Amino acid sequence: MDDCCCGGPLVTVSGEIFACDVCQSNGPRVDELTVKALLTDSALRRFEPGAYRFCPDAACEIVYFDDRGHRFTKADVRVPVWQKEPVGGRTICYCFGENESDMHDELGLTGTSRAVERVRTHITARRCACEVRNPRGTCCLGDVTAVVERIREAIRQPVPRA
C-alpha cells in the first residue's frame, strides 16, 4: 500500500500550464470536488466548473484559480490554508488536526514527533479524506514529514545571544 491515501486529482484535465494572474505562480491542479467542498456558501454561489489550480505563493491572497479568470481568495475558503498562514500554529493535516504547535511541543518535550506515524496509521486504516479536506486536494503526509523535519532542525539550532 502507498504511504498516501489519495493518488492526486480525481479528474484529469489537459496538460495546459497557466499561472495565477495575480502572482504569476504555477500551481498544481485541484479537483473541482476539493474546491467546492472548501468554499464558503457565498463563494460557492460564484463557482463555475473549470480546471482549477492551487496557488502556492504564501504572499498571494488567491487560493484557487482557473484559466478563465475565476479566482477564490483566502476569504472564500472555509479553513485557513496552511501554506498562506504565518509559521507557528498552522494545521498541516486537515483530516486529523496535526499542527505545527503540537509537533513543536512534542519534539521539545520528547525529542521526537510521532505525527508522521499517527497520520500513516490513519492512512493505513483508510480514514483520511485529503481530496476533500486538504485545500491542495492531495495527501498531507509529505507536508507533515517536511514540517516535522523543519521544526527538528530549528530546535537543534542554537539561538544567538544578544
Is residue 1 over pLDDT 50? no
What is this structure's pTM? 0.85
What's the distance, Cα to Cα, between the start and end of the chain in Å? 50
* pLDDT 10s digits, 100-151: 999 999 999 999 999 999 999 999 999 999 999 999 999 999 999 999 999 9
Q: Is the pLDDT of residue 13 over 60?
A: no
How many residues does the structure list for the chain? 162
Q: How far apart are CA 107 and CA 131, in angstroms?
A: 29
Q: What is 11-78's CATH number?
A: 2.20.25.270
pLDDT tens for each residue of 42-95: 999 999 999 999 999 999 999 999 999 999 999 999 999 999 999 999 999 999
Mean pLDDT, rounded, for 8-26: 69
| Cα 56 to Cα 79: distance, rounded to the nearest angstrom | 15
- Spell out the domain ranges in the chain: 11-78, 82-156
